[in-house]
Chain A
Amino acid sequence: MTTNLRNAVLVAGAIAAVAGCAGTGSSPEQSAAWDREAQEVMARSFRDQGIATVDRLKQDEVMAACSTHGQHIDDELRERIQAAAQADIKWPSDGNYLGDWKEGEKLAQSGRGMTWSDKADAPNGGNCYNCHRITKKEISYGTIGPSLYQYGKLHGNTETTQKYVWGKIWNPNAYTACTNMPRFGAHGILDEKQIRHLVALLLDPKSPVNAE
């Protein structure tokens, strides 16, 4: 999958089938023509700004498939995306999944990183609270993802859970193809050390996620 990622091709017929949802009787040829034109329009409508360069418009296979099908992908494609993502996960080099939950909380709070107003050398945040409830105290949380409050208490701080949470943060498509959650490890948004801190935030019994 990483190879596909790196050799990403520009969309290539990817945004097809979205048209199928419209249902207002357009022929497959017409629909394919609009797919192509959408790509051309995208290519003409953006410019680089800071670190956000136009090559970000290129899609890999996963983005293309998920743009086209959303959550309605068929079983075969789902299996393929999940298997490739699973194979793509880089496990911790020293076999240690748990870092410092306090650092994890800071990362979960930070929504910084990767926009055109961010600097290239500024550390990226995890954005986690944008989408998840995590601790009891923090009431400013989003709901795009499920609540992770008491995650360790509910699932246990076992090696199986640690591995799952690590893999989920590395590449969530390994478990849920076309999820709305970013591929933090696979896309180099967060590094090993940061992911360890986040696993600790969710699983360490002393973390406010589980202790409060």
Chain B
Amino acid sequence: MKGSRYAVCLATSALALMLPATPAGADETAEGIARYREALADGNPAELWEMQGEELWRTARGPKNGTLEKCDLGQGPGVVKGAFVGLPRYFADTGRVQDLESRLLTCMETLQGIPADEVAKTPFGKGEQKNIEALVAWISAESRGMKFNVPMQHPEERRMYEIGKRVFNYRSGPHDFGCVTCHGEDGKRIRLQDLPNLTKSADAARGFGAWPAYRVSSGELWSMQRRLNDCFRQQRFPYPLYGSEVTVALSTYLGVTANGAGESTAPAIKR
């Protein structure tokens, strides 16, 4: 089966990549990176999540025993193609700007009766959060190859963009870090990890447009919310609430910055 082939090639490449680049390990590291590239060419295990996500979309679930097929992701009820590259955006029914994940919470609550608060409190990789991971994998895949077109016409969209920009530059905590510390200049790295300059459109499209992504190092599919969550952790910040305004504002800023530049590759495969 497809899945087991992935499992084998990924196990080896993940191991090689996680080796610290010790003096003696320099060659192994280069080799590990080469093997990882091979794994990329071989296929992206995110496909497994995509398949589950498509099925989940059409499956009746929750107290209301409803499907998500009428969920409006911004292009009209049930339209999935192209929805991902147009998010976050303003939704009149909730009166808020929403990213893909906070919008899914709304749809799960209204169409399936699954309480949004509870899903938001569930740890990543568990329970309903696992379902969200599958859904975002499929939904983002349906926009693969499209350019970002995140709207800024509505005053709320503009407001969230402006707030996101301020949050991006906001430095504090024990290390004085802000997003800008690690993502504010071209061509920088932390250890061997390339850091996109998220203030520029080409890098923003490449960086923002890659998530959700399959992470080789953990064998998990990470949503954008989880990506941001881990960056806040590295920033030594407190814990961002799932789907909170800060996360949506940041995504609005990154998405608008990415507009028109590169093509969405999500769900991509990452270290």
Contacts and interface: CB of A to CB of B under 8 A. Distances in A.
Contacts of B170: 11, 15, 38, 42, 59, 67
A66 B20 CA distance: 34
Chain B, interface residues (CB within 8 Å), range: 35 or more
Nearest to A71: B184
A45 B25 CA distance: 42
Given A34-B166, A137-B23, A140-B21, A57 B238 contact: yes
B50 to A, nearest CB: 29
A96 interface: no
Contact of A63 (B166, B171, B239): B171
Nearest to B21: A140
B249 A41 contact: yes
A82 B184 CA distance: 22
A139 B29 contact: yes
Interface in A93-145: 114-117, 127, 129-131, 137-144
Contacts of A116: 233, 238-239
Interface string B234-262: 10111111001111010000000000000
Interface of B: 20-21, 23, 26, 29, 159, 162-163, 165-167, 169-178, 180-182, 184-185, 187-193, 195, 233-234, 236-241, 244-247, 249
Pick the 8 closest A-B CB pairs, nearest first. A140-B21, A45-B246, A49-B239, A45-B244, A38-B166, A137-B23, A182-B175, A46-B238
Interface of A: 11, 15, 18-19, 22, 26, 31, 34-35, 37-38, 41-42, 44-49, 52-54, 56-59, 62-63, 66-68, 70, 114-117, 127, 129-131, 137-144, 180, 182-183, 187-189
